[in-house]
Structure 1
Amino acid sequence: MEHGMIERWIHIEASPENVFEVLSDPAYVRQWWPDDADFPVRAGGDGWISFGDPAEGGKRERLTVVDVVRPRTFSFRWTHEDGETAGPGNSYLVVFELEPVDGGTLLRMTETGFRERGWDEATAAAAHADHVRGWDFFLPRLPVAVAKRAA
């Protein structure tokens, strides 16, 4: 099985502008993905997201914004260690591409970086499977957050 990339497509009944805001603004990101988030929405912006309360065993992950092209592309690297500059070999790259289609937005999400981490096959496969489960849980929440913003 290939563990190099995760790719998902989703059609959202909203404009690319609305979808982009919910994908990129930490106030909206918290509504569909992590429990908390803080990062500037600009290329090179460095911040974090967290799943659960880190003080109670939750996990905080670093996040560095790579590309912001409103309302077409938003990408970031995440899970790199404190003190490291995010790049191939130490982080995952998530890219959201938005295209206006049929009065809504076709969103393509890809995540790469599993092979580039230098892990053995079992570790790469486990990380890939974990992220597949995560995206399959979180991405369906995105249209709900977009609809809530539009209301």
Structure 2
Amino acid sequence: MEYGRIERELWIDAAPEVVFDVVSNPEHITHWWPDEADYEPTPGGTGEVVFHHEGQRITETFEVVDAEPYRMFSFRWTQPKGEPARQDNSYLVVFELTPEGTGTRLRMTEDGFRERGWEAAVLEAAYLDHSTGWDYHLARLAPYIASYVGAS
């Protein structure tokens, strides 16, 4: 296995405008991905996302790379705190949105595993951890969007 890129695709029963808001806005992503988020959702916006895991508070630096309303949102995360994001110190996550029927096709990719320069066992463990994590978190996305749209 290459352990270079994670790719996931799902159809969501909501307009691209709604899906874009939910994958880019820090107020919404905390309902399906991290436990806390604080960043400006515009290109160059920086901040952090926080995960609570086994009694620990794990803080990851977060930097928005691109935000094309209703089409694409991308960011880099997990670079060492205080350092600007580069290819060799962070992961790149891209959400691409395409209108499809009455909803939106969401394609998510995460790159940056091989670029970290890790030995094979560390690379494999990080890739599998993120792969499992995205399976869990993306499964929460459509139900959250359904409840958010239903409440609007």
SS at match of 2:29: helix
**Given residue 48 of structure 2, which amino acid in structure 1 is its aligned partner?**
W
CA distance in 2, matches of 1:22, 1:136: 17
| Unaligned residue ranges in structure 2 (runs of 5+) | none
Match of 1:76 in 2: 75
Q: Compute the displacement of 1:58 (Å).
A: 2.0
| Unaligned residue ranges in structure 1 (runs of 5+) | none
CA distance in 2, matches of 1:30, 1:75: 16
Match of 1:106 in 2: 105
**TM-score if structure 1 supplies the norm length?**
0.96
CA distance in 2, matches of 1:118, 1:31: 33
Q: Compute the displacement of 1:124 (Å).
A: 0.6
Q: Compute the displacement of 1:53 (Å).
A: 7.5
Match of 1:2 in 2: 2
Matches within 5 A, 1:2-151: 2-52=2-52, 56-151=55-150
SS at match of 2:84: coil
CA distance in 2, matches of 1:102, 1:42: 28
Q: 1:125 to 1:36 in 2, by over 3 A?
A: same
CA distance in 1, matches of 2:114, 2:107: 21
Q: Give aligned pairs, total.
A: 150
Offset from partner CA, 1:96-117 (integer Å, 9 cap, x none): 0000001100000000000000
CA distance in 2, matches of 1:87, 1:96: 19
Q: Compute the displacement of 1:147 (Å).
A: 1.1
Q: Compute the displacement of 1:82 (Å).
A: 1.6
